[in-house]
Amino acid sequence: MPHFAVLSLIVPLALSACAASRSAPPEPAPLPDASSVALGQRAYADGPVIQPVQVLEDSRCPENVMCVWAGQVRLRMLWIRPGGRTQAFEAILGKRIPLADGTILLESVTPARHAGRPIKPEDYRFAFRFDGGL
């Protein structure tokens, strides 16, 4: 009988030690805000989670060049909806686009264009602002 009492104390302690030693899955890294987003990077835009995926057009006037038209930047974007569903949309520099329960604005694009020097896709950074929500 004394052996049974000792075992009844040891077994629960051993099991609780095993359970405690299992590590919980790592917490996902928080998403960056939408002030400097690279192509392919997901970001939190004060409500929706967005991801620029492709530069469709970058016809901005290069620095130190006189242009009749300032040009524009158009991006293929994804809105990452709850549950991981995605919805494609297009963002245009300086134009509000309806998204979720508000609008999203592509505020700026860097780097600036320079005549004769193409911008590599990995060098682009975009700043977005979302207005809306409850």
pLDDT tens track for 35-52: 999 999 999 998 899 999
Task: Tell me what pLDDT residue 2 has.
Answer: 57
> Looking at per-residue confidence, does 100 or 10 come out higher?
100
Q: State mean pLDDT over 46-68.
A: 93
Rounded Cα gap, residues 46 and 73, in angstroms:
22
What is the spatial distance between Cα 124 and Cα 131, in angstroms, rounded to a whole number? 23
Q: Provide the residue ranges of all domains of the chain, joining segments of one domain with +.
A: 43-132
Provide the token pair at 39.
């192509």
Task: Summarize pLDDT for 100-121 with one digit per residue, the tens.
Answer: 899 999 999 999 999 889 999 9
Q: What is the pTM of this model?
A: 0.76
Classify strands 49-58 and 43-44 as parallel, antiparallel or unpaired. Answer: antiparallel
